[in-house]
Structure 1
Amino acid sequence: MPFDVKETVLPGVGKRYELYLDANRSIAILVRSSGERQVYFREHPDEDYEEQYALTDSQARTLGLFLVGAY
């Protein structure tokens, strides 16, 4: 199943990565320059993202290990 990813540089903030799950839903990860990660979700492209949770750099790395099955 193909999917789209969009990367946006946010000067002075960090980078935002958007993963489009289907025609409506998407997840955004904001990787701040400080190392903190904020996870956002939206149900429809016309809606604003809603923050789901924030992770420290270490927490984000551990979650990544879970997601790729390496933990």
Structure 2
Amino acid sequence: MKVFETHLPGVGQRYRISFPDGGTFTIVIHNDGSRRVFWGSDSDSDSEKLFTATERDAQKIAEIFEGVFFDPVADDLDDALSGAQIKWVAIPDDSPIAAITNRAATSAGSVTIQSTTAAHNHRRTTTG
């Protein structure tokens, strides 16, 4: 990736970013703070205007690229549950809760949280 910066007298600054796989991304920052963003499929063709952004919009886009709002999800279930304390309990067939099924299609789940005073059963069902 190559970045070219050009001063545009009376207008502002232009940044052209050329990608190795092809395409040119151009940002023109105007003296009034607005940004115009263009894309060209190659460096020889005319670029197509994608959008105009305010300074605040540009800051938000930069935060997204920087990963400010991104919270990675563990690729491995073992990593995701590394701090969890889970105790699996066998439920007898004649138990009243044995008839309750956890179907993947409805994302139903059952979690019991035991405190020092009592056990509370929380059932969560989401459909999607």
Structure-1-length-normalised TM-score: 0.90
Aligned to 1:62: 60
Which gives a bigger RCO, structure 1 or 2 (Cα 8 Å, sep 6+)?
A: 1
Count of paired positions: 69
Q: Which has the higher strand share?
A: 1
Higher-Rg structure is 2
Structure 1 runs of 4+ with >6 Å offset: none
Measured after TM superposition, the shift of residue 46 of structure 1 is 1.7
1:44 is aligned, of 42, 45, 62, to: 42
Identity %: 29
> Where does the alignment leave 5 or more consecutive residues of structure 1 unmatched?
none
Give the AA of the match of 1:46. Answer: D
1:27 is aligned, of 19, 25, 28, to: 25
In structure 2, C-alpha distance between the alignment counterparts of 1:22 and 1:39, rounded to whole Å: 19
Residue deviations 1:18-50 (CA, integer Å, cap 9, x gap): 111126311000000000001000002221111
Give the stretch that moved more between structures: 17-26 or 40-49.
17-26
In structure 2, C-alpha distance between the alignment counterparts of 1:48 and 1:14, rounded to whole Å: 20
1:11 is aligned, of 9, 34, 55, to: 9
In structure 2, C-alpha distance between the alignment counterparts of 1:26 and 1:45, rounded to whole Å: 6
Structure-2-length-normalised TM-score: 0.52
